[in-house]
A = this chain, B = another copy of it.
Amino acid sequence: MNAILASTSTLHEQDYLEYLIPHLPELYKDAEEVLFIPYARPGGISHDEYTAKAAEAFSKAGIKLKGIHEFEDAVEAVKNAEGIFTGGGNTFLLVSELYRNKVMNVIKEAVKNGTPYMGTSAGTNIGGLSMQTTNDMPIVYPPSFQTLGLVPFNINPHYLDPDPGSTHKGETRETRIKEFHGLNSQPVIGLREGSWLELKDNKVTLKGKLKARLFKKDKVPFEIETGTDLTDLN
């Protein structure tokens, strides 16, 4: 597999995908055109608007992008893709649309067979075993929470440390993941903004400048250093 699963598309005071663009030529090295999956529709923008935004960023790396909604047959589009990029937005909507268009398993097979893949935010969340550690609102009811399973664990993108000065009584991210582990056993990696997972030569590695936070059922969460090999995490 060749993939980048990034916590966020955009860093503070940067342009959309800015910090990821230097990595695109290597990831998509044999691709003239990459298939964009705009289903997650951040802020409710249209598939066309979202594709235009992503295509503008990809053009900075000299790579063309075409939206999956522009093809008559979504399944064929995935099968023929030289590379895939799934943008962020609402994970419930993304997963619902992937199932409705019958491409969830087709993408999984394509990526496992070597089609380069990049995800950001919701597009990264679906790289895990299930979407159950998303931060998003359930704005639509998907037929299943199972996702691509490119890595043998779950991912929490936009991981946010508890604010010790907060007076707000909503659950912290850590409490939410603890509740997840009350009912589920797979590890969860909390990817802070600026971190990503690199999938390359059957290895999964934490990349970026920051540490990540690892949550295992019935264990105290702990920090892992960038560069850590997560291939056999389970």
Contact = CB atoms under 8 A, between A and B. Distances in A.
A38 B96 CA distance: 30
Interface string A157-175: 1101000000111110001
Contact of A169 (B12, B140, B178): B12
B139 A131 contact: no
Contacts of A140: 132, 183
Nearest to A41: B182
Interface residues of A, number: 46
30 contacts: A9-B169, A10-B169, A12-B167, A12-B168, A12-B169, A41-B179, A41-B182, A42-B175, A44-B178, A44-B181, A90-B176, A92-B138, A132-B138, A133-B137, A134-B138, A135-B137, A136-B171, A136-B176, A137-B176, A137-B179, A137-B180, A139-B176, A139-B183, A139-B184, A140-B183, A141-B144, A141-B145, A158-B168, A160-B168, A168-B193
